Amino acid sequence: MADADPVFQIQRMYLKDLSLEQPNSPQILLEQAQPQVDINLGVGAEVVAEGVFEVTVTATVTTKVGERTLFLVEAKQAGIFEIRNIPDEQMQGIVSIVCPQMIYPYLRAIVSDVCTRAGFPPILLTEVNFQAMFEAQQQQSQAAPGSRIITNLN
């Protein structure tokens, strides 16, 4: 009977991908104008093995002065989670809400640190309500069948 007990364990958290670009350096660094910051977040997941999932949260931060890019940071933080004996109707929420909530603080720290090390003020990513993000994605997928934030779960 112990084999049927629900299992949820973090196996590992790691930085999967990191990129920093400063395409207009050093000239743009002399600009005094206030930069415009655009932040995009994404969540993904895939099955690694039976009952083992890799969940990723990606942040893309684009900072521009006028039409020229000051810097661009893309970071992908990942976690490997063992998730077994969870009812199917709960699995999507765990992978799309619970796991990203655990990964996101690491991603926030990395983005802030990379910006600082690149010579810029830190970009502090705001808190994210992954449940609201998941629910919005569910509504979109109902309107457009076939589109899902989580891929390769089946």
pLDDT score for 3 = 66
Instruction: Give the mean pLDDT of 109-127.
Output: 94
Is omega for the bond preceding 122 within 30 degrees of 0, making it cis? no
Question: 25-52, pLDDT tens digit by residue?
Answer: 898 888 888 999 999 999 999 999 999 9
**Residue 62 located in a structural domain:** yes
**Residue 151 located in a structural domain:** no
How far from the centroid of its chain's Cα atoms is residue 30's Cα? 32
pLDDT at 95 over 50: yes
CATH number at residue 104: 3.10.420.10
**Residue 20 located in a structural domain:** yes
Host domain of residue 15? 2-143
Token digits of residue 7: 């299992």
**Residue 150 located in a structural domain:** no
**Residue 152 located in a structural domain:** no
Look at 4 and 12; give whichever has higher pLDDT.
12
Mean pLDDT of the chain: 89
Torsional class of 51: left (φ above 0), alpha (ψ -120 to 50), beta (otherwise): left
Structural domain count, the chain? 1
pLDDT score for 151 = 35
pLDDT score for 142 = 79
Residue 75's pLDDT band, with cuts at 50, 70 and 90, is: very high
pLDDT at 118 over 70: yes
